[in-house]
Structure 1
Amino acid sequence: MISASPDVRKITFHSEALGKDMKFNIYLPPGYNAKTKYPVLYVLHGYARNEDSWLPGMEADKTADRLVKEGRIEPLIIVSPAVDNSYGFNSSDQPAKRPCADCADEGRYGDYLTKDLIAYVDAHFSTAADRSRRFIGGISMGGWAALHNSFLHPELYSKAGGHSAALYMEEWFNTGGLRHWMYPIPEMRDWRDPLLLADTEKLEGLSVYLDCGEQDNYKFYEGSELLYRKLKARNIDVQYHPSSGGHDKNYWMPKMENYLLFYAGK
């Protein structure tokens, strides 16, 4: 019997990379059963948010249920993990910590996402454990993290989405703060910033979806457009969808159907 409401479960597991327990929400499609191997979409939240941001916050579960029942997307598993305020990359080899109340979280968050989380989900749920059916996307900070990790690990993901991704341009970075934390030496930017990874990494076979509100107060549309041009010039499968809207769920929620059609559309 198929439930009338989406099947979303809350999970806590131990991350070896971070040295602490982490939470994630997981959506299972209508009729989920262990005999079927499902594609998996990992979705990452923005700064100062948590694992509830996509599921149930932006109703990705309800939208997925509807699209599956309408036959418009393949039944899939959606995983919405907590990534703290980390930007989802390996910022430190030490156990995860937040140096101060207003600081970003430090630790091996990239390894947490690409090793610990994938391994746990594949071991405990009926997943199609291969890159062709594994996708990653995110909003704002999570969009940066999704692009960063998929560009560094195209062997893990076949599709990546940056939805209002926090792709900062030079004039913002010149104010200091976040730039000095993310890239304490200039060379680090070469192998952390998606805008630069787009020039160097082997991304053939990766499909990328970018979008941003044209009234985004952080002007992330500038970075999104630049990334689109860079990937297009390399003949990478990329699409960019700017449209009216700001940097909030009033922009993202109406786009959820388009996002899911990109990741799992038939």
Structure 2
Amino acid sequence: MRVLAQALAPLTLLVALTSQAQGDEAPGSAQARANFNRAVVLAADDVRAFDKPPTGFDVEQPAIAHGRVEEFGYDSAVTKTRRQALVYLPAGYDAARRYPVLYLLHGIGGNQHEWSSYVRATAVLDALIAQGRARPMVVVMPNGRAQADDRPPAPERTFTPEHVAAFTAFEADLIGSLVPAIDGKYATTADAQGRAIAGLSMGGGQALNFGLSHPDTFTWVGGFSSAPNTRPAAELLRGKDAARHQLKLLYLSCGNRDGLINISQSMHRELRDLGIPHVWNVDEYGHDRESWAENLYHFAQRLFR
């Protein structure tokens, strides 16, 4: 039941945003609801970059080899607590080899279980790796709110300044504590060429902010349905020639029925004007699981090539 509740967290959040009486809203809730309800205005280049995946791409396939997911604990220099992440190890994981690492960040109402339980990331990755369409990789799914009590809050507290600040604080936790701990425990390719970061919604903004700000740590970056925490491209890339010249993949996506698409559109247009190569994929979804699963499918196939 706990996993089911975690998986339903994004749906609960959206219901809360659309049904909560304005007089009862916590700070930030009204603005968040307005963001989700924003009218979508599409430009000529807001189109699919890829065809839809085949039917069943995100359903577990019993006939193939499966990776495993395990809990991973690490000491955080930011929160001064022992924090938890989930780690996906591909089928046939062998400590004598070296594997690239993908960090997947969740949305504002989720936690480290969102990608595996709700988006079904492990089913997507198992199939791609079994088919030879994605490289075997370690996937780290952390809790992206760096605070001592990092449980998802009640809906009325989701958009409080303290909760939002915990997602910003995760940058130092990720770079200073989690990445070194992962490289110390697992057989990873411990350099920027072997690390990717992506996320959905709030995690999409985090992935763009952290990935583009740390080209010495990540050279493969993806933002799916990125939220308003996303910083402007010019700010993220200012003075960072390494990001401009060493970035292997920068991937943006959003649904054309998602009220937050203006965030990704702005990033896409800034990158275009700056001459930064990137992928821009616009599908037919809202702020939905299906969009995130499909874009993981496309993104994972292009990593570490």
Which TM-score band applies after superposition, normalised by the shorter structure? Answer: 0.7 to 0.9
Alignment match of 2:231 (pick from 190, 193, 205): 193
SS of 2:264's partner is helix
Indicate conservation of the 8 Å contact 2:252/2:268, yes or no. Answer: yes
| Residue 14 (structure 1) shift | 1.7
Which amino acid in structure 2 is aligned with residue 38 of structure 1?
Answer: Y
Change in 2 beyond 3 A, CA 1:150/1:36: same
One-letter amino acid of the counterpart of residue 266, structure 2: L
TM superposition score normalised by structure 2: 0.69
Q: Per the alignment, in what secondary structure is the counterpart of residue 110 of structure 2?
A: coil
Aligned equivalent of 1:135: 196
User: Which whole-Å deviations, capped at 9, do the CAs of 1:162-218 have from their partners, x for residues lacking one?
Assistant: 0000136xxxxxxxxxxxxxxxxxxxxxxx8244424524221222100001111xx
Cα deviation, 1:22-59, whole Å, max 9, x if unaligned, reads: 11110001110111110000000001100001123312
> Is 1:261–2:304 an aligned residue pair?
no
Q: Which runs of at least 4 in structure 1 moved beyond 6 Å after TM superposition?
A: none
Secondary structure of the residue aligned to 2:139 is: strand
Residue 233 of structure 1 and its aligned partner are, at CA, apart by 2.3
Aligned mates of 1:71, 1:130 — CA distance in 2: 23
Query: How many residue pairs align between the two structures?
Result: 229
User: Which whole-Å CA distance do the structure 2 matches of 1:11 and 1:97 have between them?
Assistant: 17
Identity between Structure 1 and Structure 2 (%):
29
Match of residue 215 from structure 1: 257
Q: CA 1:5/1:97 → structure 2, altered by over 3 Å: closer, same or farther?
A: closer
SS of match in other structure, 2:303: helix
Q: Relative to structure 1, is the Cα distance of residues 151 and 120 closer, same or farther in structure 2, using a 3 angstrom cutoff?
A: same
Q: Which residue of 2 aligns with 1:162?
A: 223
Contact 1:199–1:230, Cα closer than 8 Å, also in 2: no
Higher helix share: 2
Aligned counterpart, 1:39: 100
**1:113 equivalent in structure 2:** 174
- Which structure 2 residues correspond to residues 1-266 of structure 1 after superposition, within 5 A? 4-84=65-145, 96=148, 102=157, 103=160, 104-105=162-163, 106=165, 108-167=169-228, 193-198=231-236, 200-202=238-240, 203-204=243-244, 205-206=246-247, 207-216=249-258, 219-264=259-304
Aligned partners of 1:196 and 1:166: how far apart in 2?
Answer: 17
Structure 2 spans left out of the alignment, 5+ residues: 1-63
CA contact (8 A) 2:234 2:270 kept: no
Equivalents in 2 of 1:110, 1:26: separation in Å?
19
Q: Is contact 1:18–1:109 with CA below 8 Å preserved after alignment? A: no
Task: State the SS of the aligned residue for 1:61.
Answer: helix
Deviation at 1:116, TM superposition (A): 0.5
Instruction: Give the secondary-structure state (helix, strand or coil) at the position aligned to 1:68.
Output: helix
Mapped partners of 2:290, 2:211: distance in 1 = 26
CA 1:227–1:25 in 2, change beyond 3 Å: closer, same or farther?
same
Q: TM-score, normalised by structure 1?
A: 0.79
Root-mean-square deviation (CA, aligned residues, Å) is 2.3
- Return the alpha-carbon distance in structure 2 between the equivalents of residues 156 and 237 of structure 1: 19
- Distance between the aligned counterparts of 1:59 and 1:130, measured in 2? 27
Q: How far 1:115 moved relative to its partner?
A: 1.6
Aligned-partner SS, 2:302: helix
Partners in 2 of 1:14 and 1:233 — Cα distance?
A: 41
C-alpha distance in 1 between matches for 2:290 and 2:123: 16
5+ residue gaps in structure 1? 87-94, 169-191
SS in 2 for 1:13: strand
Query: Deviation at 1:64?
Result: 1.0
- The answer (yes or no) to whether the contact 2:87–2:140 under 8 Å persists in 1 is yes
Q: How far did residue 75 of structure 1 move?
A: 0.6
